[in-house]
Homo-oligomer: A and B are copies of this chain.
Amino acid sequence: MLSKSSKYAIKAVLFLALNSNDKKKVMVKDISEPINVPQAYIAKLLQKLSRQNIISSSRGRKGGFYLSDNNRKQSIMSIIEVIDGEKNFNSCMLSLKECDEDKPCPLHKTLYPFKSNIIRNLESISIKELALEVELGNAFLPL
């Protein structure tokens, strides 16, 4: 469903949402350790997200990654799109090229409604909202 990379990225962004702001930057090694993802690997993902303005970064001394207020307004889907390139979600369950309401694959009718709801949710939930759930103790981010 989600690639490992997307999962890592979401975890890292949530970690940043909870532990950073424009005054308080966090460097990769202090992100990679608590979320339990190899440092060099998460660094690459963060750079990609930063280039697409999903997260912010500054380099050099006192540098690090962080989330601005604007960053926090982005949807969870935007993270996935940057990392996985949206292909995964929008494609047919059986990977038939031509699969839509008119010419649905055998699984389309039963599964598409659910899938489409998942997509809609991921598009509508913002980083900020999701982080709030963790702050309120309604959700957890272990390992």
Contact = CB atoms under 8 A, between A and B. Distances in A.
Interface of A: 1-2, 4, 7, 10-11, 14, 76, 88, 93-99, 103-111, 114-115, 117-118, 121-122, 125, 130-131, 133-134, 138-143
A7 B139 contact: no
A4 B96 CA distance: 11
B142 A106 contact: no
A94 B142 contact: no
Nearest 4 Cβ contacts at the A-B interface: A106-B139, A114-B114, A1-B1, A106-B130
Contacts of A99: 140
A87 B94 CA distance: 18
B95 A7 contact: yes
28 contacts: A1-B88, A1-B93, A4-B95, A10-B107, A11-B94, A96-B140, A96-B141, A96-B143, A97-B142, A97-B143, A98-B140, A98-B142, A103-B140, A103-B142, A104-B138, A104-B140, A105-B140, A106-B130, A106-B134, A106-B139, A109-B138, A110-B121, A110-B125, A111-B121, A114-B114, A114-B118, A114-B121, A115-B118
A140 B105 CA distance: 5
A120 to B, nearest CB: 10
Contacts of A11: 94
